[in-house]
């Protein structure tokens, strides 16, 4: 099975430094010099498409641009790239969301993937008019996904749950293909929803032993439901020609983290209700000492950024080895990002992906049947033919 790689669209802005945001962190807490214009996001999307990434994740929240609208516009600027749209089911009624997904698939040629975000911060949810507590939000997400999946199958739905109710709901046209559902969460309530409804369970970049525990946990829950689930991981990446060059980049990034910014961000994240965020914080404890928490896994990003806080760091060969290690645990999809996102996409795409292709673990989506994973080189067949 070929591994699947997705890139990331920083719809809150980009920089050569780490840009803060998410899980209660103010926008720009760590800087940001490249505004999230449609032109700049198009550069990132086209680079990802050329390099062979399957899709691109967009975040959700008040700290970034709306993912549905942004990616709908970017779809016109790309040809193949899929968009992993993060959205919160409590903010859109299920029948409308099912219809939006069907419309998106028709107008983009089936390039929508859905990253369902239940919402881990009550104060942020309340700003949108959502006053449920965390466990109730997960219960509502389960009801929401049940309704949406029934509608996508072309069924008429009557449903009355604890949080949602629809009567004689149906779609005139169902999506083709049905969007795959990506879902993450580390709490018991999240695990139950993932097991029942997700196609791909996502974890943030914890050390391999912890990732293995999560995979085993979700597999047990899914098997109890008579289902199988694929697994993905969300990581940053710093890959260079040499390990020394990669670790030098981590030192440069750290030099840009003021002690005041770290203290402020960590204080905010400590109040998070997210179990996944708690696990991220536990990896570094708010300190910039001992940040290589596992071979080639660096927790420095999490000092100034909410959410995914770890990065794969090393030579191209080392990063490829770590990806292979995660794959052996059961990870088939990798959602990656770097700072800045255009340049890091090329470092990874031109340095690491060819190594994985040579190992038979990855193929470029546009590779021909006889290719070894890369894309054809124009005029290569004519080299040396003319004299």
Q: pLDDT averaged over the chain?
A: 90
The whole-number average pLDDT for the span 115-131 is 84
Most confident of the following: 16-30, 144-158, 305-319: 144-158
Q: What is the pLDDT of residues 42-95, one digit of tens each?
A: 999 999 999 999 999 999 988 899 999 999 999 999 999 999 999 999 899 999
What is the reported pLDDT for 123? 77
3-state helix, strand, coil in the chain (%, to 5): 45, 20, 40
The model's pLDDT over 268-295, given as tens digits with 9 standing for 90+, comes to 777 777 787 878 888 887 666 679 999 9
Task: Give domain limits for the chain.
Answer: 4-236+314-366
CA-only gyration radius of the chain, Å: 21
**What is the structure's pLDDT at 129?**
86
124, pLDDT greater than 70 = yes
What's residue 262's pLDDT? 85
- Model confidence at 27: pLDDT above 50: no
* Whole-number pLDDT of residue 30: 45
The answer on pLDDT for 387 being more than 60 is no
Label residue 175 by pLDDT band (50, 70, 90): very high
C-beta atoms surrounding 368 within 10 Å: 10
What is the arithmetic mean of pLDDT over 347-363? 98
Most confident of 25-39, 127-141, 148-162: 148-162
Which one is the CATH code of 4-236+314-366: 3.20.20.70, 3.90.1300.10, 3.20.20.30, 3.40.50.2300? 3.20.20.30
Supply the pLDDT for residue 373.
61
pTM: 0.91
Exposed (0-12), middle (13-18) or buried (19+): which is 110, by Cβ within 10 Å?
Answer: middle
Give the integer Cα–Cα distance in Å for 234 and 183: 12
Grade residue 378 by pLDDT with cuts at 50, 70 and 90.
Answer: very low
Nearest alpha carbon to residue 60 among 174, 182, 191, 223: 182
| Length of the chain counted residue by residue | 387
């Amino acid at each position: 099975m070929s591994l699947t790689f997705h890139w990331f669209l920083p719809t809150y802005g980009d920089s050569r430094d780490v840009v803060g945001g998410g899980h209660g962190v103010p926008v720009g807490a760590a800087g940001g010099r490249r505004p999230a214009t449609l032109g700049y996001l198009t550069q990132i999307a086209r680079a990802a498409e050329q390099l062979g990434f399957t899709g691109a994740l967009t975040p959700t929240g008040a700290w970034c641009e709306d993912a549905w609208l942004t990616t709908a516009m970017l779809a016109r600027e790309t040809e193949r790239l899929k968009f992993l749209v993060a959205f919160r089911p409590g903010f859109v009624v299920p029948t409308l969301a099912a219809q939006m997904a069907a419309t998106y698939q028709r107008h983009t040629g089936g390039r929508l993937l859905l990253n369902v975000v239940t919402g881990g911060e009550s104060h942020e949810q309340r700003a949108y008019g959502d006053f449920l507590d965390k466990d109730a939000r997960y219960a509502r997400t389960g009801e929401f996904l049940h309704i949406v999946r029934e509608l996508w199958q072309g069924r008429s739905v009557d449903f009355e749950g604890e949080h949602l109710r629809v009567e004689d709901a149906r779609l005139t046209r169902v999506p083709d293909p049905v969007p795959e559902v990506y879902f993450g969460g580390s709490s018991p309530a999240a695990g139950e929803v993932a097991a029942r409804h997700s196609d791909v369970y996502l974890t943030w970049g914890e050390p391999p032993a912890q990732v293995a525990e999560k995979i085993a946990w979700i597999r047990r829950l899914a098997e109890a439901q008579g289902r199988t689930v694929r697994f993905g991981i969300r990581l940053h990446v710093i890959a260079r020609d040499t390990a020394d060059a990669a670790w030098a980049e981590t030192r440069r990034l750290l030099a840009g983290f003021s002690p005041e910014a770290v203290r402020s961000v960590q204080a905010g994240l400590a109040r998070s209700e997210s179990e996944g965020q708690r696990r991220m914080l536990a990896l570094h404890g708010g300190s910039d000492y001992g940040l290589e928490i596992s071979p080639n896994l660096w927790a420095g990003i999490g000092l100034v950024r909410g959410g995914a806080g770890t990065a794969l760091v090393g030579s191209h060969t080392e990063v490829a080895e770590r990806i292979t290690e995660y794959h052996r645990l059961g990870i088939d999809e990798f959602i990656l990002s770097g700072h800045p996102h255009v340049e890091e996409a090329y470092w990874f795409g031109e340095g690491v992906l060819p190594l994985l292709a040579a190992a038979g673990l990855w193929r470029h989506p546009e590779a021909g049947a006889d290719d070894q994973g890369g894309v054809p080189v124009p005029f290569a067949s004519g080299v040396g033919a003319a004299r």
